[in-house]
């Protein structure tokens, strides 16, 4: 399969602008910052839950055995 240079660049790029306006870069970066912040928030809370739920889970399981 023969690809042209613009097709290869579009596949390799992390961000593809379809217009000549460079302000679209700022518009594209803002949601990515919000997404990264949400990922960090979720990782923090998952570690907190794992830290406290993992020691409690076996105790709850042992209490369910007759």
- Which tens digit of pLDDT belongs to each residue from 22-50? 888 888 888 888 899 999 999 999 999 88
Residue 65 pLDDT > 70, yes or no? Answer: no
* Residue 34 structural domain: 18-64
User: Number of structural domains, the chain?
Assistant: 1
Tokens standing for residue 52: 């406290």
Q: Would you say residue 22 lies in a domain?
A: yes
Q: Would you say residue 2 lies in a domain?
A: no
Q: Would you say residue 53 lies in a domain?
A: yes
Q: Would you say residue 7 lies in a domain?
A: no
| Cα-only R_g, the chain | 23
Q: Would you say residue 3 lies in a domain?
A: no
Going by the DSSP 8-state scheme, the letter that residue 19 receives in this structure is S
Residue 55's pLDDT is: 80
The terminus-to-terminus CA distance of the chain in angstroms comes to: 65
Q: Alpha helix (H) ranges present in 2-66?
A: 5-12, 23-64
């Amino acid at each position: 399969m023969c690809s042209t240079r613009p097709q290869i660049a579009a596949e390799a790029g992390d961000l593809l602008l379809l217009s000549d306006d460079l302000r679209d870069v700022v518009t594209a970066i803002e949601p990515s910052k919000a997404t990264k912040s949400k990922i960090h928030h979720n990782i923090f809370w998952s570690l907190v839950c794992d830290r406290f739920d993992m020691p409690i889970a076996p105790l709850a399981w042992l209490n369910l055995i007759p």
